[in-house]
Copies of this chain bind each other. A is one copy, B any other.
């Protein structure tokens, strides 16, 4: 249950058996079906999710359209992060793309974990930094790359998601319409 979690955190900090016991007590295991909203727009995010299995996406809505901001794979922490940080209503929705197996912790329990285990501060900071860096990479790609270049990079880094995620969701994540993405794919296969 915590194998994936420790495989990930071991790269950052090592926990003793005692610390692991405390950590495991702070999380709950949850199986969630696809298309389930973990955090809704307009509501405050109160939980953080470690993905053992499945996919989760973060999206915005505008004029009735859903526009994907991020897709979280296994072994990532998923959340509507700014809402979690500030405890303000989220402008995003966090929703499962597949049936998921998650390790869930509340914001409150996380604070208590920070108090109880100082090493958690390091892990928390690393997770936050990674989150910032992910956002910077996406933003710089929007700034620097054409839609076709964004698609190419996506394929290079997350090609497996083409098989798991509907293309219209990937298109919205790349900032283009499904029609445009289809044209790009056709151009690239010629």
Contacts and interface: CB of A to CB of B under 8 A. Distances in A.
Contacts of A143: 60, 67, 69, 142, 175
Contact of A86 (B91, B128, B133, B139): B133
Number of chain copies forming the complex: 2
Interface string A142-180: 111000000000000000000000000000000100000
Size band of the interface chain A makes with B: 20 to 34
Contact of A139 (B69, B129, B144): B69
Interface string A78-113: 000110011000010000000000000000000000
Contacts of A189: none
Given A132-B128, A139-B138, A144 B86 contact: no
Contacts of A144: 60, 62, 67
Contacts of A140: 60, 69, 91
Contacts of A62: 144
B132 A131 contact: yes
Contact of A142 (B82, B133, B136, B139): B139
Interface in A110-136: 128-129, 131-133, 135-136
